């Protein structure tokens, strides 16, 4: 039975039993404490915990999940997978244990012809919590399971809670007996390895209120919940490999095609060599996981989700290299994974151009990293072994990662292959220091040095800020708190006087707080006898808006009544920039195609920048087309509107979401010209696109593999930019005495003459060098049988000096010869040594010679025995360096 068919049967089974089918949430978790959605119940946590009322009494879903804690175990076991799918059914105060048992039993053992999965009921075992007689009775009474196939386990195995105070309860797990060839009889209680009795479904009975939760097994039960919930999870991949008769999840229909293609590319046979099998399973798992993550908008990066994705893709590429495949492999493997997964997720096929662009760019970047990083790694390993301590320091590993982009997991793997250890703890400590600095910078932006608890206290006392930024530019407000960084970590309550900068919390505000790439509003707070300038507006905790202000006059204290007013020109310019960002995004997609999706943005009054997925620089014509399309939309004066709806409704009408962001149940959709531009957005906008005014693209650049950035100015700033460009053209015309429409030809002619002049100069320099080489060779001095040439020609940089040294060496013929030249050009000293083969045969080395003399010119250098080069900054040391070089030759030659 194909995996997509198992998925379909599961959803249909529960839909027929009154469950609402809920689409899978994104792999990007809505829980800020999680990088990814790690379990099927994550999207339902608000309903299961009672924080929000459930919109339906019972639900079912097949949730996409990613877990990365065991990433090193992928490929080594039959069950560890990074991406997996969790089938689940949920009851929110509706049915309880009897209903959960009945629904599960009917599906698991139901006949295939009737829509069931067709498992043999005689091979089903279950476990229940030690004292859960109710669940044990349900399995015996409803399913007819013999009591000896209903086993009882403790809290470690059969109790569930969130890890914090709140709801929890016993659980019951369903196991399938794979047969005696996989282990001894006796059920899950005996089979601790889980090889014979494979768990396929866990039913959680959420019935108690827990407190003092200290660990998985250490907590206190307060009492029963007023509403008891059901939360179940069936591993789709596990069920698939049982029903498909294969040995592990890597061999099911949604994964095996990639494994087989990888084996073909590597010229190996799966099942013949354990080490190769592990690498092929890593490739199959990681390619699928990368496909799904990019499909949900994650892009490779150095932090958080982006780092996980980068690690997965790079582990897949490196595994193929270890199998002997040095060419690019993702273009061969990713389409295979797309075809295998599209039956369940058709959006992968429609969005594949974007997904592929991101993945292929990451592989290409990693291939370059491997080329440069491997050489540096090999050098570090050689030095470590030569020093007799085969270990890389944390600093070396961090340098490889931070400076050269070499991932630590690759460093660890390569080090293990070389028999070298890595100070991973030292590396982790340096990484943590880097993260701490970044977090401190981000926290300082939001809260200054005030502890966030000060804001949580204000939120608890007064509730969320009444935020009016969409409706008005002015509100009558009351000061709920004045938070000063001088009052200690908790902020405290303070009175601020003229000249002081503090953070102010108001009961209501018209100020837009920085978010979604849009900077905060500017404006003023005015009260009887006082005035303050608003410098910044942030949301340090959800629901609370905090204003950083500089008091200009009077004193500002808690309880003060005041007028909060946004600078009208600032807001208009900010709206122009934000709406302009949407227009440029729509123009990019119209000109380049739908794969040119926004991955980030920033806008401030008059200026915007937008990052988007794209390979390679835009051509001049593409830039011109984007600008034309954007300005045509401005000229058309499209209506700009915003409306609220559910996320599925927004997706159904084609609203674009910023990949990597999470959204609530209700989202705000901003439209410019209806479907022409339709995006999820919480920013402020103009009423009609004509209000954006002049829009001019000012730059386009790379911001990483597979990502580009465009910059633009709008409104008055756009006009000023074009006026400056016009003035620059006028000044150039006057300077070159050319009409503006003839400037291009005039400048082209000048450049052509300059190139011709450069060519003539180069020819003269070459002739002079040849003449100088002949004279220098003729002036060679004999030092203990070695022809030595030392000289300091003026004004030659390293490349020209090397050419001269090699020319002189060639004129010395078969005899032992040493050429040592030094020259100062542009404030820097270049040193080159070149030796004939006969000189090397006498034990002389150009590398040793350069190492000897370069300290005398304030530098260093080195190289091979025949040619070496170095440099310095002290030209006054050149005579001493040449003398020291000649002496070194005399000493070495006279041995």
Residues annotated within a binding site: 578, 582, 681, 685
User: What are the phi and psi torsion angles at 235 (to 5°)?
Assistant: -75, 110
Q: Do the beta carbons of residue 319 and residue 279 sit within 8 Å?
A: yes
Closest C-alpha among 369, 245, 288, 239 to residue 75 = 288
| Beta carbons of 859 and 829 less than 8 angstroms apart | yes
Separation of alpha carbons 133 and 141, rounded Å: 12
Helices within 702-830 (DSSP H only): 715-736, 743-778, 798-811
C-alpha–C-alpha distance, residues 254 and 344, integer Å: 10
Report how far residue 126's alpha carbon sits from residue 187's, in angstroms, rounded to the nearest whole number.
Answer: 9
Rounded Cα distance, 790 and 881, in Å? 10
Question: 420, 384 in Cβ contact below 8 A?
Answer: yes
Cβ atoms < 10 Å from Cβ of 772: 16
Neighbours of 372 (CB within 10 A): 12
Rounded to a whole number of angstroms, the distance between the first and last alpha carbons of the chain is 83
| Of 644, 642, 649, 646, residue with least CA distance to 671 | 642
State the CB neighbour count (10 A cutoff) for residue 376.
Answer: 15
Rounded to whole angstroms, the Cα distance separating 267 from 439 reads: 47
Residues within the annotated binding site for Zn(2+)? Answer: 578, 582, 681, 685
Strands 530-538, 523-527: pairing is antiparallel
DSSP annotation of 179 reads -
What the block records as the tokens of 815 is 């005899």
Strand partners, 642: 670
Cα(796)–Cα(798) distance, integer angstroms: 7
Cα separation of 16 and 636, whole Å?
50
- According to DSSP, the β-strands at 83-92 and 220-235 are antiparallel
Pairing of strands 786-791, 817-825: parallel
3-state helix, strand, coil in the chain (%, to 5): 45, 25, 30
Report residue 96: phi and psi, to 5°.
-130, -135
Query: How far apart are the C-alpha atoms of 858 and 831, rounded to whole Å?
Result: 11
């Amino acid at each position: 039975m194909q995996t997509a068919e198992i998925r379909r049967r599961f959803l249909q089974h529960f839909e027929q039993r009154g469950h609402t089918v809920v689409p899978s949430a994104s792999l990007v978790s809505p829980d800020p404490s999680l990088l990814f959605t790690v379990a099927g119940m994550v999207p339902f946590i608000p309903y299961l915990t009672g924080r929000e009322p459930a919109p339906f009494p019972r639900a079912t879903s097949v949730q996409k999940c990613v877990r990365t804690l065991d990433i090193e175990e992928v490929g080594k076991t039959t069950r560890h997978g990074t991406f997996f799918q969790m089938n689940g059914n949920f009851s929110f105060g509706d049915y309880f244990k009897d209903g959960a048992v009945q629904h599960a039993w009917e599906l698991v053992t139901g006949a295939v012809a009737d829509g069931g999965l067709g498992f043999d009921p005689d091979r089903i075992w279950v476990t229940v919590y030690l004292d859960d007689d109710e669940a044990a009775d349900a399995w015996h009474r409803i399913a007819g399971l013999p009591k000896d196939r209903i086993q009882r386990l403790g809290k470690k195995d059969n109790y569930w809670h969130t890890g914090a105070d709140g709801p929890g309860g016993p659980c019951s797990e369903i196991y399938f007996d794979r047969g005696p060839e996989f282990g001894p009889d006796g059920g899950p209680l005996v089979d601790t390895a889980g090889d014979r009795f494979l768990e396929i479904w866990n039913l959680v009975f959420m019935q108690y209120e827990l407190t003092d939760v200290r660990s998985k097994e250490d907590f206190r039960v307060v009492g029963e919940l007023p509403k008891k919930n059901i939360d179940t999870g069936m591993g789709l991949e596990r069920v698939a490999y049982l029903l498909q008769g294969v040995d592990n999840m890597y061999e099911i229909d949604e994964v095996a095609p990639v494994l087989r293609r990888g084996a073909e590319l590597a010229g190996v046979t799966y099942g013949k060599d354990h080490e190769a099998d592990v690498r092929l399973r890593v490739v199959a798992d990681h390619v699928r996981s990368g496909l799904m993550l990019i499909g949900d908008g994650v892009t490779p990066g150095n932090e958080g989700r982006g780092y996980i994705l980068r690690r997965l893709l790079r582990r897949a590429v490196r595994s193929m290299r270890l199998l002997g495949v040095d060419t690019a492999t993702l273009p061969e493997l990713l389409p295979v994974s797309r075809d295998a997964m599209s039956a369940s997720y058709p959006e992968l096929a429609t969005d594949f151009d974007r997904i592929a662009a991101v993945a292929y760019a990451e592989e290409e970047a990693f291939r370059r990293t491997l080329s440069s990083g491997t050489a540096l790694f090999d050098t570090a390993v050689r030095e470590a072994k030569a020093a007799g301590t085969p270990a890389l320091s944390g600093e070396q590993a961090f340098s490889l990662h931070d400076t050269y982009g070499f991932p630590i997991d690759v460093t660890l793997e390569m080090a293990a292959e070389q028999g070298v250890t890595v100070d991973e703890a030292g590396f982790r400590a340096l990484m943590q220091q880097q993260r701490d600095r970044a977090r401190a910078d981000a926290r300082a932006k939001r809260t200054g040095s005030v502890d966030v608890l000060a804001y949580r206290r204000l939120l608890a006392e007064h509730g969320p800020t009444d935020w009016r930024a969409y409706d008005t530019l002015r509100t009558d407000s009351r000061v709920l708190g004045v938070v000063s960084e001088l009052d200690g970590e908790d902020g405290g309550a303070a009175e601020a006087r003229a000249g002081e900068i503090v953070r102010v919390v108001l009961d209501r505000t018209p100020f837009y707080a920085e978010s979604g790439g849009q900077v905060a509003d500017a404006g003023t707070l005015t009260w009887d006898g006082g005035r303050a300038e608003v410098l910044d507006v942030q949301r340090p905790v959800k629901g609370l808006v905090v204003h950083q202000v500089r008091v200009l006059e009077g004193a500002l204290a808690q309880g003060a009544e005041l007028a909060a007013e946004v600078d009208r020109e600032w807001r208009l310019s900010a709206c122009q920039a934000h709406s302009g960002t949407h227009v440029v995004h729509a123009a990019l997609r119209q000109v380049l195609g739908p794969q040119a999706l926004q991955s980030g943005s920033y806008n401030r009054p008059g200026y915007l920048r937008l990052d988007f997925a794209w390979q390679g620089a835009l051509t001049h014509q593409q830039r011109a087309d984007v600008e034309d399309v954007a300005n045509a939309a401005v000229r058309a004066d499209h209506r700009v509107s915003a409306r609220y709806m559910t996320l599925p409704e927004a997706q159904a009408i084609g609203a674009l979401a910023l990949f990597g962001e999470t959204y609530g149940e209700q989202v705000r959709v901003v439209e410019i010209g209806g479907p022409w531009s339709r995006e999820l957005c919480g920013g402020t906008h103009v009423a009609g696109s004509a209000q954006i005014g002049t829009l001019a693209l000012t730059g386009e650049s790379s911001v990483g593999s597979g990502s580009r950035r465009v910059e633009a100015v709008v409104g008055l700033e756009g006009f000023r930019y074009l006026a400056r460009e016009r003035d620059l053209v006028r000044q150039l015309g006057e300077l070159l005495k050319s009409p503006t429409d003839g400037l291009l030809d005039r400048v082209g002619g000048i450049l052509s003459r300059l190139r011709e002049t450069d060519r003539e100069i180069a020819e003269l320099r070459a002739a002079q060098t040849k003449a100088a080489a002949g004279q220098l060779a003729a002036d060679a001095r004999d030092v203990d049988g070695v022809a030595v040439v030392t000289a300091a020609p003026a004004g030659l940089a390293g490349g020209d000096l090397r050419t001269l040294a090699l020319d002189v060496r060639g004129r010395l013929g078969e005899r032992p010869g040493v050429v040592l030249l030094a020259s100062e050009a542009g404030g820097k000293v270049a040193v080159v040594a070149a030796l004939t083969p006969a000189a090397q045969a006498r034990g002389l080395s150009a590398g040793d010679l350069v190492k000897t003399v370069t300290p005398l010119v304030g530098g260093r250098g080195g190289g091979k025995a025949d040619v070496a080069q170095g440099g310095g900054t002290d030209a006054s040391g050149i005579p001493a360096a040449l003398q020291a070089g000649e002496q070194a030759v005399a000493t070495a030659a006279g041995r």
